[in-house]
């Protein structure tokens, strides 16, 4: 009996010593769903920027490291991908795109290359008109801004009327800010010599006759035309949305910010997300302008109802405000005047769509709701206006506030560079004019070659500690969302295609690591997704791509030739489809 009691006491002591340790000891980790091994894996950020392998469970990274370390999570049902040394990296995050428009135009529009001559544009319109059904509109893109003076004439309008064979025609430019319409389209919209310029828009007229030439600058000017175009059908919209996802995945994009989302666009994204599911992270920028459908909500009214559209992969978290237009149309606001011309004289700076007081009130309302705003500002005058207004909002609502974006931030005064960081503002930059392009040539025609050459001070922004994020602006500027063109342009400041020679402000080039960070983690942070994606780190969504070449082992001028072999979103392969 005594021995039994002693044994019980001894067991109790042992249990008291070991039970807490046993309870605290970690359980054996569950096997991974997926292991990717034996690769050159560029993580962008983490304990190391390079790894051999990583493991994924329930759509998230659970281990990143060596083959041996990660291999411990293999189980009988774990899928293993052997990269055989290939490069993998986080999926691309595109901070500025119009994916629904881009895909819709690819599928249904009368498209032509942005470097087309006027004769080539007219030939393409004639071809589309010949195949159109009675009553159809010919809607297409994208004419070059270098043609602006050439098409703004009665002779060009007459030529467009002949090519259209009686169909109404509406063609957009490469910047998305201007339209060219024929006489039939203007007739249906009720646009005549008596029509007056709406606020924020210009109906260009012939100086001799006073008649509209068919050229319309900025959205308010061509809104009446857009409202006459037959609305896109639901079936076509859904087909375009699915095509957009496939196109973006195919070039390695796993996160995108729709830079201008009307309520009808939100409905399409929401329907797709709640049905088959979006194959990427989608951040929407809610329109603050009236749409083609007068019944649609916009601005604060839409923002206050945005939760009804939120889904597993759709975040209606931003708003979009246009401060100005584009330099080639002289609708961007500059601190120094444009080159003299007959229409504007010698001291024209351009004009913003808002006074500072108006902008402060609008921004403060969104900021108070916790909604960041993407502010379109291409001239250094409108960039300064944006920063001045945000500074006032910070005083009113407090720091840090919502992280607003200035898009495209093309031209920035030196004294305004550090203000981006001081005010917590992201610089949203687009690749269409990082290197010599037609838009750049058209800009030089408006402000002069010397000023036009000093565009996108990327290196200065990064040295100032600014969060610089990369986007495509697809389909504006370029007919593809391919990020590798922009990434190469950041490093070389040259046209990857070689079509336009020379380098554009080569002193502002950045290294490849910086360029990749701009397009991955930086864009994710600017979009409000920095804790969710943008790097290969434990806990984040398993959004990654596999490339056909190691970008760090090829000349910078070959980066644009990189091909995406596989794209994974939340640990699931979305390209190519199995």
Strand partners, 215: 180
Give pLDDT, residue 4. Answer: 47
* CA 177/CA 115 separation, integer angstroms: 17
Instruction: Say if residue 255 is exposed, middle or buried (CB neighbours under 10 Å; 0-12, 13-18, 19+).
Output: buried
Instruction: Say if residue 532 is exposed, middle or buried (CB neighbours under 10 Å; 0-12, 13-18, 19+).
Output: middle
**Mean pLDDT of the region 431-448:** 83
- DSSP annotation of 43 reads -
Distance, CA of 190 to chain centre: 34
**Mean pLDDT of the region 290-298:** 86
Q: Are the beta carbons of 221 and 197 closer than 8 angstroms? A: yes
Give the three-state DSSP class for 240. Answer: helix
Q: Are the beta carbons of 103 and 94 closer than 8 angstroms? A: no
Position 234 pLDDT exceeds 80: yes
- Among 5-19, 248-262, 473-487, which is the least confidently predicted range? 5-19
Give pLDDT, residue 349. Answer: 97
Give pLDDT, residue 290. Answer: 85
Tell me whether the omega of the peptide bond preceding residue 142 falls within 30 degrees of 0, making it cis: yes
Q: Are the beta carbons of 397 and 418 closer than 8 angstroms? A: no
Q: Are strands 202-205 and 281-287 parallel, antiparallel or unpaired?
A: unpaired
Can you spell out the DSSP letters for 396-412? Answer: HH-SS----EEEE--S-
* pLDDT above 70: percentage of residues in the chain: 94
Give pLDDT, residue 28. Answer: 62
Q: Are the beta carbons of 433 and 439 closer than 8 angstroms? A: yes
Neighbours of 207 (CB within 10 A): 9
Position 152 pLDDT exceeds 60: yes
Domain with CATH 3.20.20.140 in the chain: 323-510
Residue partners of 200: CB distance under 8 A and separation at least 6:
218, 219, 220, 221, 322, 353
Domain with CATH 3.10.310.70 in the chain: 99-226
- Grade residue 555 by pLDDT with cuts at 50, 70 and 90: very high
Tell me: the pLDDT tens digits for 526-536? Answer: 999 999 999 99
Pick the closest to residue 43 from 575, 553, 542 (CA basis).
542
Position 463 pLDDT exceeds 50: yes
Tell me whether the omega of the peptide bond preceding residue 62 falls within 30 degrees of 0, making it cis: no
Position 126 pLDDT exceeds 70: yes
Residue partners of 61: CB distance under 8 A and separation at least 6:
54, 55, 536, 537, 538, 539, 540, 542
Pick the closest to residue 543 from 56, 32, 53, 82 (CA basis).
56
* CA 376/CA 266 separation, integer angstroms: 20
- Among 20-29, 81-90, 369-378, which is the least confidently predicted range? 20-29
What CATH architecture does domain 99-226 belong to? Answer: Roll (3.10)
* CA 532/CA 540 separation, integer angstroms: 5
Q: Are the beta carbons of 503 and 290 closer than 8 angstroms? A: no
**Token pair of 70 as six digits:** 């990660």
The Cβ-side half-sphere exposure at 59, using a 13 Å CA radius, reads 9
Q: Are the beta carbons of 160 and 184 closer than 8 angstroms? A: no
Q: What is the pTM of this model?
A: 0.90
- Among 19-33, 54-68, 548-562, 563-577, which is the least confidently predicted range? 19-33
**Token pair of 569 as six digits:** 């979103």
Tell me: the pLDDT tens digits for 60-77? Answer: 999 999 999 999 999 999
* CA 147/CA 144 separation, integer angstroms: 6
What CATH architecture does domain 323-510 belong to? Answer: Alpha-Beta Barrel (3.20)
Q: Phi first, then psi: what are they for 448, rounded to 5°?
A: 100, 150
Give pLDDT, residue 440. Answer: 87
Give the three-state DSSP class for 217. Answer: strand
- Average pLDDT over the chain, rounded to an integer: 93
How far, in Å, are 36, 68, 105 from residue 61 at the CA level? 11, 16, 36
Pseudo-torsion of CA 250, 254, 255, 260, nearest 10°? Answer: 20
**Token pair of 502 as six digits:** 């020379």
* CA 422/CA 400 separation, integer angstroms: 10
Position 91 pLDDT exceeds 90: yes
* pLDDT above 90: percentage of residues in the chain: 85
């Amino acid at each position: 009996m005594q021995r039994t009691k002693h044994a019980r006491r001894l067991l109790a002591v042992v249990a008291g010593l070991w039970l807490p340790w046993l309870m605290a000891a970690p359980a054996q980790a569950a096997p991974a769903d997926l292991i990717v091994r034996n690769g050159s894996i560029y993580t962008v950020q983490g304990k190391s920027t390079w790894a051999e392998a990583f493991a994924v469970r329930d759509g998230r990274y659970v281990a990143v490291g060596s083959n041996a370390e990660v291999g411990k999570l293999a189980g009988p049902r774990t899928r293993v991908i052997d990269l055989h040394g290939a490069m993998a990296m986080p999926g691309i995050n595109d901070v500025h795109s119009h994916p629904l428009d881009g895909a819709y135009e690819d599928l249904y529009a009368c498209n032509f290359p942005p470097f087309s001559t006027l004769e080539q544009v007219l030939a393409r319109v004639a071809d589309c008109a010949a195949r159109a059904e009675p009553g159809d509109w010919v809607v297409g893109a994208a004419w070059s801004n270098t043609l602006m003076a050439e098409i703004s004439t009665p002779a060009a309008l007459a030529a467009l009327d002949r090519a259209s064979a009686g169909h109404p025609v509406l063609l957009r430019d490469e910047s998305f800010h201007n339209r060219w319409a024929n006489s039939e389209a203007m007739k249906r919209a009720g646009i005549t010599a008596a029509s007056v310029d709406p606020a924020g828009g210009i109906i260009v007229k012939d100086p001799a006759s006073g008649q509209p030439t068919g050229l319309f600058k900025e959205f308010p000017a061509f809104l009446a035309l857009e409202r006459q175009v037959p609305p896109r059908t639901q079936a076509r919209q859904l087909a375009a949305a699915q095509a957009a996802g496939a196109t973006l995945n195919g070039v390695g994009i796993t996160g995108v910010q729709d830079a201008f989302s009307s309520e009808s666009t939100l409905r399409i994204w929401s329907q797709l997300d709640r049905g088959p599911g979006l194959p990427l992270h989608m951040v929407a920028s809610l329109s603050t302008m009236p749409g083609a459908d007068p019944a649609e909500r916009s601005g604060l009214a839409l923002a206050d109802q945005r939760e009804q559209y939120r889904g597993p992969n759709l975040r209606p978290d931003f708003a979009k405000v246009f401060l100005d237009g584009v330099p080639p149309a002289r609708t961007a606001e500059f601190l120094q005047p444009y080159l003299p011309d007959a229409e504007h004289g010698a001291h024209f700076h351009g004009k913003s769509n808002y006074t500072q007081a108006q902008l402060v009130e609008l921004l403060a309302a969104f900021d108070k709701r916790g909604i960041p705003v993407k502010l379109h500002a291409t001239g250094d005058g409108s960039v300064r206006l944006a920063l001045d207004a945000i500074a006032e909002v910070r005083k009113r609502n407090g720091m840090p506030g919502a992280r607003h974006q200035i898009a495209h931030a093309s031209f920035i005064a030196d004294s305004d560079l550090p203000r981006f960081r001081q005010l917590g503002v992201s610089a949203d930059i687009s690749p269409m004019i990082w290197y010599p392009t037609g838009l750049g040539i058209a800009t030089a025609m408006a402000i002069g070659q010397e000023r036009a050459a000093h565009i996108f001070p990327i290196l200065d922004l990064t040295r100032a500690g600014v969060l610089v994020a990369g986007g495509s602006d697809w389909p504006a500027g370029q007919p593809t969302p391919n990020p590798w063109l922009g990434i190469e342009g950041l490093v070389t400041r040259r046209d990857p295609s070689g079509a336009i020679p020379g380098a554009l402000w080569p002193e502002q080039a950045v290294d490849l690591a910086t360029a990749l960070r701009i397009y991955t983690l930086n864009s994710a942070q600017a979009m409000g997704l920095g804790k969710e994606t943008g790097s290969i780190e434990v806990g984040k969504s398993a959004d990654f791509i596999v490339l056909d070449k190691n970008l760090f082992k090829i000349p910078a001028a070959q980066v644009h030739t990189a091909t995406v072999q596989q794209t994974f979103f939340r640990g699931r392969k979305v390209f190519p489809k199995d």
